[in-house]
Structure 1
Amino acid sequence: MQAVEVKNLLEAQLPGTQVEVEGEGCSFQLNLISDELAGLSPVKRQQQVYAHLNAWIADGSIHAVTMKFFSRAAWAARP
């Protein structure tokens, strides 16, 4: 599994979300930039993302995922 595949899938399935992906193989770190996702509870945010990754997790293509969520303003303001 490649980072660009994860990025393309999530950006296609989560309109208005910018996804920055680090990692390769079966372990990825995701930065998700979305005002809509940032407004949800932590559990709801993760559920939104896992809903689109579950098939790859189930077949072992993805083993570990770490997620950080940012509003657009918070992403732009980071150092």
Structure 2
Amino acid sequence: MQNNEVADLLKQAMTLDEVKVTSEGTHYKVIAVGECFEGQSRVKRQQAIYGPLMPHITDGTLHALTIKAFTPEEWRREKMFNL
């Protein structure tokens, strides 16, 4: 599965401002940014990302998934401090 396919699945299923997907083999890293994460715990945010990808996880297409989910404000701070 291509990185852009993973990003498209997430964009179609969720209201996201940004989605960045990188991969190495079947190991994927997702950075998702959206207001939809406002007030959600880290676990709830990860569950929201897992939902649309679950068919690909269960069939083995996506073997490992690292998720970082931010609100737009959190993402601005993250980028500022990690430049």
Looking at structure 1, the residues matched to 36 and 72 of structure 2 have their Cα atoms a distance apart, in angstroms, of 10
Looking at structure 1, the residues matched to 5 and 69 of structure 2 have their Cα atoms a distance apart, in angstroms, of 19
Looking at structure 2, the residues matched to 74 and 45 of structure 1 have their Cα atoms a distance apart, in angstroms, of 13
Task: Name the counterpart of 1:31.
Answer: 31
Task: Give yes or no for contact 2:20–2:30 (8 Å, CA) kept in 1.
Answer: yes
Is 1:3 the counterpart of 2:3 in the alignment?
yes
Task: Give yes or no for contact 1:32–1:68 (8 Å, CA) kept in 2.
Answer: yes
Task: Give yes or no for contact 2:15–2:34 (8 Å, CA) kept in 1.
Answer: no
Task: Give yes or no for contact 1:31–1:68 (8 Å, CA) kept in 2.
Answer: yes
Looking at structure 2, the residues matched to 70 and 16 of structure 1 have their Cα atoms a distance apart, in angstroms, of 10
Looking at structure 1, the residues matched to 43 and 62 of structure 2 have their Cα atoms a distance apart, in angstroms, of 20
Is 1:61 the counterpart of 2:61 in the alignment?
yes
Q: TM-score, normalised by structure 2?
A: 0.83
1:23 partner SS: strand
Name the Cα RMSD after superposition: 1.5
Amino acid at match of 1:20: K
Task: Give yes or no for contact 2:18–2:33 (8 Å, CA) kept in 1.
Answer: yes
Amino acid at match of 2:11: E
Q: Tell me, which stretches of 5 or more residues in structure 1 are unaligned?
A: none
Residue identity (%): 35
Q: How many equivalent residue pairs?
A: 79
